């Protein structure tokens, strides 16, 4: 019987993505757990800042599968065919499933629900009741374990290069999302020569190493990552709405834990009631439509701060952002004095529940740094550092040693950024407070 032609998907980033029609990968794509990713925004609430950023997790997932296919084709040409063929099924399945555990609005709901999407991805793969598990089991009785190991950051069963291809400082996941998020947000910062990067690496001592010829493409990638974090992922308007959602959820959880009626929709009530024993089925029922219905419901809640936050969110009535002054003590990063002053301003402004109207946002320093070159040679691996090798040299070196332009960005990391979000009605008052703030001597 003649093989069917590959199934072709149109994609705005790669034009075409093809998946073999005879293969199980297409069956995996059609499972309800994978299709659920169509209903998860790739960039959470970034579309409140960038109206075009409405793309979903599934389109990113297909992009990752596409890049993984290309990376494996490249490796097959230059490495032993057998090794790569063995790795093909688990790597393609892991590419398809690495984000399957994401909750509503992607990373945004991790603090709200107290979850880690990777943990849920692994649970979904391992749960015999999911279609994902059934498809994998049909291919090979142990494939699901191999896939779960690849997704699970705690697992060490795989050769380093396999894990690094999926999750490291230069992997197919990042290569897709930087360019895709750039395209859909319209921000236009995520450009780099991904084709060269995907076609210029090898496996060296079990780890990924790039040819020195691709160093400028990698430099471009690192700068693209920096610009995307500064302009899109950490945009202050987006972060403000994220903090607002988190505050809403904290408020509701406090009501729920205090045995008050939090007005929960059934799926959420069930999930919170189950606590750490929540099942995969209970988790997967919490979708973005569940969350939006919940927020809509809260607009009429008897708890005033909760109802007010819910209305503000739906009406895109954003809080103002104000950068914190230098902390009083560099060693402890203490903002106690500044926070007390803000709390006083909020209370005087007529907001009784300070916790709902003075929202602290601390962006860890690592998110301001697009790439970490681990300094000591014996700490360097594909997961820790990007390494390149000149054609005439057997020894790979960390990339910033051959790219001086990277050093200002990697050797002097930006400090953590601390910002506070408050109701716009307090703008003049807090701006005055900030302008007149004197550091403690």
**Site residues (vs another protein, CB under 8 A):** 153-154, 156, 160, 329-334, 336, 364-366, 369, 372, 374-379, 381, 383-384, 411-413, 415-416
Contact yes or no for 79/71 (Cβ under 8 A): no
Tell me which residue of 34, 33, 28 sits closest to 90, measured CA to CA: 28
Order of strands, sheet of 207-211, starting from the edge strand that comes earlier in the sequence: 201-204, 207-211, 387-389, 397-398
Tell me which residue of 102, 229, 66, 80 sits closest to 161, measured CA to CA: 80
- Rank residues 20 and 374 by Cβ distance to another protein and give the closer one: 374
Distance of closest approach, residue 385 Cβ to another protein, in angstroms: 10
Distance of closest approach, residue 208 Cβ to another protein, in angstroms: 13
- Rank residues 357 and 371 by Cβ distance to another protein and give the closer one: 371
Tokens at residue 322, please?
């104000």
- Which helix (H) or strand (E) segment holds residue 19: the answer is strand 15-19
- Rank residues 77 and 360 by Cβ distance to another protein and give the closer one: 360
Distance of closest approach, residue 116 Cβ to another protein, in angstroms: 10
Distance of closest approach, residue 436 Cβ to another protein, in angstroms: 24
Distance of closest approach, residue 156 Cβ to another protein, in angstroms: 6
- Rank residues 23 and 417 by Cβ distance to another protein and give the closer one: 417
CB proximity list for 113: less than 8 A, separation 6 or greater: 103, 249, 271, 286
Distance of closest approach, residue 74 Cβ to another protein, in angstroms: 24
- Rank residues 157 and 186 by Cβ distance to another protein and give the closer one: 157
**CA dist., res. 214 & res. 231, Å (int):** 26
Q: Strand pairing partners for 359?
A: 421
Apex CA 272: angle with CA 269 and CA 274, to 5°? 105
| Count of alpha carbons within 13 angstroms of residue 145, beta-carbon side | 5
- Rank residues 82 and 376 by Cβ distance to another protein and give the closer one: 376
Distance of closest approach, residue 25 Cβ to another protein, in angstroms: 28
- Rank residues 178 and 363 by Cβ distance to another protein and give the closer one: 363
- Which helix (H) or strand (E) segment holds residue 199: the answer is none
- Rank residues 290 and 416 by Cβ distance to another protein and give the closer one: 416
DSSP helix/strand/coil, 398: strand
Tell me which residue of 87, 31, 84 sits closest to 61, measured CA to CA: 31
Distance of closest approach, residue 315 Cβ to another protein, in angstroms: 36
CB proximity list for 208: less than 8 A, separation 6 or greater: 160, 161, 164, 165, 168, 170, 201, 202, 382, 387
Contact yes or no for 28/93 (Cβ under 8 A): yes
CB proximity list for 94: less than 8 A, separation 6 or greater: 147, 150, 151, 166
- Which helix (H) or strand (E) segment holds residue 15: the answer is strand 15-19
- Rank residues 378 and 428 by Cβ distance to another protein and give the closer one: 378
Distance of closest approach, residue 415 Cβ to another protein, in angstroms: 6
């Amino acid at each position: 019987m003649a093989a069917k032609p590959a199934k072709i998907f149109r994609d705005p980033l790669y034009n075409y993505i093809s998946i073999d029609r005879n293969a199980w990968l297409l069956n995996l794509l059609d499972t309800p757990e994978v299709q659920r990713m169509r209903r998860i925004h790739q960039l959470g609430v970034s579309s409140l800042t960038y109206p075009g950023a409405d793309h979903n997790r599934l389109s990113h997932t297909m992009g990752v599968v596409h890049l993984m296919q290309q990376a494996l084709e490249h490796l097959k040409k230059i490495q032993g065919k057998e090794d790569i063929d063995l790795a093909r099924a688990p790597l393609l399945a892991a590419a398809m499933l690495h984000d399957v555990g994401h909750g509503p609005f992607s990373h945004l709901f991790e603090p709200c629900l107290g979850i880690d999407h990777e943990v849920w991805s692994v649970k979904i793969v391992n749960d015999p009741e999911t279609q994902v598990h059934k498809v994998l089991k049909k291919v090979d009785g142990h494939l699901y374990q191999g896939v779960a190991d690849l997704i699970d950051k705690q697992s060490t069963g795989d050769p380093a290069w396999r894990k690094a291809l999926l999750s490291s400082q230069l992997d197919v996941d990042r290569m897709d999302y930087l360019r895709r998020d750039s395209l859909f947000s319209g921000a236009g910062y995520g450009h780099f020569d991904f084709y060269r990067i995907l076609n210029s690496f090898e496996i060296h001592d079990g780890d990924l190493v790039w040819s020195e010829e691709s160093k400028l493409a990698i430099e471009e990638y690192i700068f693209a990552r920096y610009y995307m974090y500064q302009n899109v992922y950490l945009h202050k308007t987006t972060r403000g709405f994220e903090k607002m959602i988190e505050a809403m959820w904290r408020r509701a959880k406090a009501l729920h834990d205090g045995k008050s009626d939090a007005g929960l929709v059934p799926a959420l009530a069930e999930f919170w009631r189950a606590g750490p024993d929540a099942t995969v089925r209970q988790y997967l029922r919490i979708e973005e439509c569940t969350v939006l219905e919940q927020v809509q419901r809260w607009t009429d809640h008897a708890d005033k701060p909760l109802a007010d936050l819910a209305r503000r969110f739906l009406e895109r009535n954003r809080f103002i952002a104000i950068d914190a002054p230098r902390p009083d003590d560099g060693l402890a990063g203490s903002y106690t004095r500044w926070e007390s002053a803000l709390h006083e301003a909020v209370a005087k402004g007529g907001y009784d529940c300070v916790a709902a109207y003075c929202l602290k946002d601390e962006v860890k320093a690592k998110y301001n740094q697009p790439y970490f070159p681990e300094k000591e040679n014996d700490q360097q691996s594909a997961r820790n550092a990007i390494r390149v090798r000149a054609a005439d040299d057997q020894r790979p070196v960390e990339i910033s040693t051959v790219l001086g332009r990277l050093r200002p960005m990697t050797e002097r990391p930006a400090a953590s950024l601390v910002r506070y979000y408050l109701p716009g009605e307090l703008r003049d008052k807090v701006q005055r407070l900030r302008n007149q703030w004197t550091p403690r001597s």
